[in-house]
Amino acid sequence: MSKPVLLTVDDDPEVLNAIERDLRHHFRADYRVVRASSGALALETVVELRRRGVQVALFLVDERMPHMSGTQFLLEAMKFYPDARRVLLTAYADTDTAISAINKIGLDHYLLKPWEPPSVRLYPVLEDLLSEWFARRRPAFDGIRVAGHSLSPQSYEVKNFLASNHVPYQWLDMEDEQTVRELLSGASGGATRLPLVFFPDETVLVQPSARELAEKVGLQTRAQKPFYDLIVVGGGPAGLAGAVYGASEGLRTILVERTAPGGQAGTSSKIENYLGFPSGVSGAELARSATTQARRFGAEILTTQEAVEIRRADPYRKVILDDGSELTAYAVLIAPGMEVRRLEAPGVDELLGAGVYYGAALTEAATSRGRDVIVVGGANSAGQGAMFFSRHARKVTLLVRGADLTASMSTYLIDRIAETPNIEVLTNSAVVSARGTGRLEAATIRNSLTGEQTELAAAAMFIFIGAAPRTGLCGDLVKRDPQGFVLTGRETMTDGQRPPGWSATRDPFPFETNVPGIFCAGDARHGSGKRVAAAVGEGSATVSMIHQYLQTV
Ligand SMILES: Cc1cc2nc3c(=O)[nH]c(=O)nc-3n(C[C@H](O)[C@H](O)[C@H](O)COP(=O)(O)OP(=O)(O)OC[C@H]3O[C@@H](n4cnc5c(N)ncnc54)[C@H](O)[C@@H]3O)c2cc1C
């Protein structure tokens, strides 16, 4: 297979030579550098590359070119290579253009001329973009293939698991009979249960569980050490931050995640308020980078393992996993976040995974292409979901219980939704039922002001109606508030008295629970910020308290 292409476009021959030279110097082992001296010539190149089936990883384009600006070129080129990373080369005076391009074409980066020295100003940013592209690129046909029905819950589970764990796969829809028949004829046992997962070593798994898949694709599911300094429960932003800071500061750290790292943030199509990402970052991307970072510092990350109980066995803390195994450490950081609230309406549970999804279900974007979809909810997550699906669906209907969006959604999202012609907001509206034979066909909506019920045809419905803390593992050991959020710091004390059973000669640290050495961070903590940045901050801040705690055991 030919190497993926980095395409650079500039009408100034001197700049074009310089950028081509620098790109070749650093990236030639893995990428082919192709140049063009105008937008029109570059577009011809793009069409030809596409015809030959060559992958393009990155466009690096000058903004100010006669006849066709860099932004105009990118708008056209994206139609052929929607996944390629997009970088504009600008002079200082063009910064406004670059910022508007972030919104118009989802620009990944704007690079100011000159970029000397490239080792500081060019290579790191391009390396990051290329590693993102690499992780998301369309898999080669000789990778993992999943064959099933597009609207079957079992197929959705498998696709979602692989995608959340950043394992590339090729999806083969049973409706495309020819391709799938070809594969099925080679599958042993003529299995009729779907999905089938085909691996490059020619083995096939039939309707596999998440753990079977995890083990098969080489994800760690069992601990390697008999003892740790820190066990982190939950691989959302708070847990990942705890693992990164714990491991980087020398603690023997293990993180336990019941599905795939990322948590709620991992289901967000675009997080726009996380510091340092002016054009936003997808939750999946953030999770992937954080997981790599934690592993790089030596943290073990177990997936498909749920922590079901925490025990105190002074001076140790034990975490029991759902396969019956137990982990032992001096300290535990509980970061289990929240689980989505279920929509109680007839038909919804039956059609789960078959057109009805909780969260953004990014794997289903292709299914909604050109069709009508419903997004349920009035908070930022629903707003982001509506924006995301508006790029694929013919029409998005956003159903909101309240009279308007202002009570629960950020202004920037409300404005974006108002500017998006294929999103319709229905206020004072709730889903009363969903129906469909084998897959969602329509939902019945009730207007709470008029009592009127209407049926809305839809190929998919994405539900974002809030969440509750997932803290069942605390049992009677770790104190929670009546809503299930974990109490920490001063909240664990009553009338200035330390919690019952408290053995240390100090008050609990700010993120410490009523049990010394057991900490809690992120959305599951009483009074937490319920934002990615807040969860990351809490997860990392906890580590310094854990260090202080460890000095006493
Ligand atoms: C769709 C959506 C969009 C959002 N967009 C934004 C945004 O744009 N900006 C923003 O700031 N915030 C956003 N948020 C909120 C943000 O994602 C959360 O505040 C943040 O993810 C909380 O992080 P956390 O680590 O505390 O918990 P979570 O993200 O909930 O992660 C907890 C993790 O722990 C795992 N887990 C739970 N229990 C166990 C157990 N017993 N054993 C093992 N693992 C367990 C879960 O599987 C999960 O992976 C969004 C939320 C959603 C749902």
% of the chain with per-residue pLDDT over 90: 68
Instruction: Please give the Cα distance from 164 to 150 (Å, whole number).
Output: 17
Instruction: Please give the Cα distance from 463 to 474 (Å, whole number).
Output: 28
* Rounded average pLDDT over 70-99: 84
Least-confidence region, from 77-91, 159-173, 193-207, 358-372: 358-372
Q: What pLDDT, on the 0 to 100 scale, is given for residue 312?
A: 97
Q: What pLDDT, on the 0 to 100 scale, is given for residue 2?
A: 73
Q: Which pLDDT band, with edges at 50, 70 and 90, does 174 fall under?
A: confident
Q: What pLDDT, on the 0 to 100 scale, is given for residue 93?
A: 63
pLDDT of 491 strictly over 90? yes
pLDDT of 188 strictly over 50? no
pLDDT of 68 strictly over 80? yes
Q: From the centroid of its chain, how far is CA 3?
A: 27
pLDDT of 456 strictly over 70? yes
Instruction: Please give the Cα distance from 155 to 195 (Å, whole number).
Output: 5
Which strands make up the sheet holding 56-62, listed edge to edge?
32-36, 5-9, 56-62, 85-90, 109-112
* Rounded average pLDDT over 515-538: 96
Instruction: Please give the Cα distance from 262 to 2 (Å, whole number).
Output: 33
Q: What pLDDT, on the 0 to 100 scale, is given for residue 290?
A: 95
* Rounded average pLDDT over 324-337: 98
> Which ranges of 28-88 would DSSP assign to H, the alpha helix?
39-51, 70-80
More reliable by pLDDT, 77 or 368: 77
* Rounded average pLDDT over 358-364: 73
Atom of ligand 1 nearest to the CA of 532: 11
Return the CA Rg of the chain: 25
* Rounded average pLDDT over 344-369: 84
pLDDT of 244 strictly over 50? yes
pLDDT of 189 strictly over 70? no
Residue listed under structure tokens 């409300």: 414
pLDDT of 202 strictly over 60? yes
Rounded to the nearest angstrom, the distance between the alpha carbon of 470 and the centre of ligand 1 is 10
Rounded to the nearest angstrom, the distance between the alpha carbon of 200 and the centre of ligand 1 is 33
Rounded to the nearest angstrom, the distance between the alpha carbon of 524 and the centre of ligand 1 is 9
Instruction: Please give the Cα distance from 439 to 161 (Å, whole number).
Output: 21
Q: What pLDDT, on the 0 to 100 scale, is given for residue 79?
A: 86
Probe ligand 1: pick from 532, 538, 540, 542, max atoms within 8 Å of CB?
532
Closest CA to 208 of 170, 161, 167: 161
Instruction: Please give the Cα distance from 21 to 17 (Å, whole number).
Output: 6
Q: Which pLDDT band, with edges at 50, 70 and 90, does 130 fall under?
A: very high
Q: What pLDDT, on the 0 to 100 scale, is given for residue 321?
A: 98
Q: Are 538 and 522 in contact (CB under 8 A)?
A: yes
Q: What pLDDT, on the 0 to 100 scale, is given for residue 140?
A: 46
Least-confidence region, from 189-193, 346-350, 416-420: 189-193
Instruction: Please give the Cα distance from 296 to 291 (Å, whole number).
Output: 8
Atom of ligand 1 nearest to the CA of 385: 1
Rounded to the nearest angstrom, the distance between the alpha carbon of 473 and the centre of ligand 1 is 17
Q: What pLDDT, on the 0 to 100 scale, is given for residue 481?
A: 97
Q: Both tokens of residue 467?
A: 């969440």
Residues 6+ apart with CB under 8 A from 382: 375, 376, 398, 400, 409, 464, 465
Probe ligand 1: pick from 233, 244, 268, 269, max atoms within 8 Å of CB?
268
Rounded to the nearest angstrom, the distance between the alpha carbon of 511 and the centre of ligand 1 is 18
* Rounded average pLDDT over 68-91: 90
Rounded to the nearest angstrom, the distance between the alpha carbon of 536 and the centre of ligand 1 is 11
- Compute the mean pLDDT over every residue in the chain, rounded to the nearest whole number: 90
* Rounded average pLDDT over 31-59: 91
Q: What pLDDT, on the 0 to 100 scale, is given for residue 198?
A: 87
Residue list, ligand 1 pocket, CB within 6 Å: 233-239, 256-259, 263-265, 267-268, 271-273, 306-307, 335-338, 359-360, 380-381, 384, 464, 470, 473, 522-523, 530-533, 535
Describe the chain by its helix, strand, coil percentages, rounded to 5: 35, 25, 45
